[in-house]
């Protein structure tokens, strides 16, 4: 099937050019849905179980009932990856509450809609992983957890992240760093932040209202495996500006060094040694773990 692209929609693999979303899909009308971005490395789906578990966690929080059990969704993800034939790719799973006009979920007469696609994706040019990213703090704040719980990876919340990303772009930065309303450092628009100071790693605590990234968890495990210390203190911009090294983690961005924040150069302005070691370890890890696409 190579060459053609397929999208899995509610149980069927449909050629991409014939894959449509209903006009009154609640995700389309109100951002009433959730999603996961998942990587395929070397014909293996990375952290499949973790991503599907997070998807079900988001669904449970939004009271959206998925029309299939986790094993069936995992099989559908693997099947979509297989049909599209990318040895290295990016899978996007989107679930919406269903199709129906009006806020009231009673108007929805369909089961939840499930869409799965697989594409090739490089978020940043390869040389940026060598030279490092420029990051700007943005004025767009993280929504507080009493408004939108960050552990719910719901589509609607991403308007904030899109505006933050555009704000960063306007400042000539590749990513935007978002703060909580209290001014603590939270996360970037689609990635988590790590700092290195005196050989030890820090990253903002998940309880602050950030997404507990699966790449973040992976990097914490790899760092601990190397004997490095990892803690989750409250971080302010002072800590960021005075770090020895910094990097971002996310499924799309992978592990990418950050060498400048708001015009302050981090360390000597080049990706640091611990960052480089973690990038190498992450790349090695992704090649051999993961569920074979088959």
- Residues identified as active-site: 153
d(CA 46, CA 140): 31
d(CA 139, CA 142): 10
Minimum CB distance to ligand PXG, residue 212 (Å): 8
Q: Does 187 bind ligand PXG (CB under 6 A)?
A: yes
- Stretches 10-18, 79-87, 213-221, 265-273: which one binds ligand PXG (CB under 6 A)? 213-221
Q: Applying CB under 6 A, which of residues 7, 211, 278, 293 lies at the interface with ligand PXG?
A: 211
Rounded to whole angstroms, what are the CA distances from 97 to 2, 142, 161?
32, 24, 22
Minimum CB distance to ligand PXG, residue 64 (Å): 18
Q: What is the CA radius of gyration of the chain?
A: 19
Which residue lies nearer to ligand PXG by CB, 136 or 214? 214
Cα dihedral sign, 249-254-257-263: negative
Q: Does 215 bind ligand PXG (CB under 6 A)?
A: yes
Tally of CA atoms within 13 A in the half-sphere of 259 that contains its CB: 14
d(CA 148, CA 160): 11
Minimum CB distance to ligand PXG, residue 101 (Å): 26
Contacts with 106 (C-beta within 8 Å, 6 or more apart), sequence order = none
Which residue lies nearer to ligand PXG by CB, 99 or 140? 140
- Stretches 4-12, 108-116, 248-256, 279-287: which one binds ligand PXG (CB under 6 A)? 248-256
Q: Applying CB under 6 A, which of residues 108, 112, 201, 214 lies at the interface with ligand PXG?
A: 214
Contact 248, 240 (CB under 8 A): no
Please report, as residue ranges, which positions from 87 to 116 form the binding site for ligand PXG (by CB under 6 A).
Answer: 92
Q: Applying CB under 6 A, which of residues 14, 230, 252, 291 lies at the interface with ligand PXG?
A: 252
Strands 89-96 and 113-119: antiparallel
Q: Does 37 bind ligand PXG (CB under 6 A)?
A: yes
Of 25, 24, 81, the C-alpha closest to 48 is: 81
- Stretches 3-11, 79-87, 99-107, 185-193: which one binds ligand PXG (CB under 6 A)? 185-193
Structure tokens at 138: 């943005």
- Stretches 24-32, 186-194, 229-237, 269-277: which one binds ligand PXG (CB under 6 A)? 186-194
User: Interface residues with ligand PXG (CB under 6 A)?
Assistant: 35, 37, 92, 161, 187, 190-192, 211, 213-216, 249-252
């Amino acid at each position: 099937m190579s060459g053609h692209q397929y999208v899995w929609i509610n149980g069927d693999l449909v050629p991409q050019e014939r894959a449509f979303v209903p006009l009154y899909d609640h995700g389309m009308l109100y951002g009433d849905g959730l999603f996961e971005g998942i990587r395929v490395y070397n014909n293996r789906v990375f952290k499949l179980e973790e991503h599907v578990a997070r998807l079900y966690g988001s669904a449970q929080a939004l009271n959206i009932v998925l029309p299939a059990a986790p094993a069936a969704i995992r099989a559908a993800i693997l099947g979509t990856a297989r049909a599209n034939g990318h040895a290295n790719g990016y899978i996007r799973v989107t679930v919406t509450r269903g199709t129906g006009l009006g806020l009231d979920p009673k108007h929805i007469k369909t089961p939840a809609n499930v869409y799965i696609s697989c594409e090739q994706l490089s978020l940043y040019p390869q040389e940026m992983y060598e030279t490092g990213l420029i990051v700007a703090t943005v004025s767009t704040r993280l929504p507080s957890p009493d408004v939108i719980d960050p552990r719910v990876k719901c589509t609607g919340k991403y308007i904030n992240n899109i505006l933050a990303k555009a704000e960063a772009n306007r400042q000539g930065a590749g990513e935007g760093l978002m703060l909580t309303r209290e001014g603590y450092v939270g996360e970037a628009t689609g990635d988590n932040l790590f700092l290195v100071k005196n050989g030890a790693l820090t990253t903002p605590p998940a309880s602050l209202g950030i997404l507990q990234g699966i790449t973040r968890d992976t990097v914490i495990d790899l760092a601990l495996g190397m004997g490095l210390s990892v803690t989750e203190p409250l971080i302010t911009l002072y800590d960021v500006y005075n770090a020895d090294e910094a990097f971002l983690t996310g499924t799309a961005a992978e592990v990418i060094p950050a060498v400048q924040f708001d015009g302050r150069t981090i360390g000597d302005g080049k990706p640091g040694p611990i960052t480089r070691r973690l990038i190498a370890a992450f790349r090695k890890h992704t090649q051999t773990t993961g569920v074979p696409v088959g």
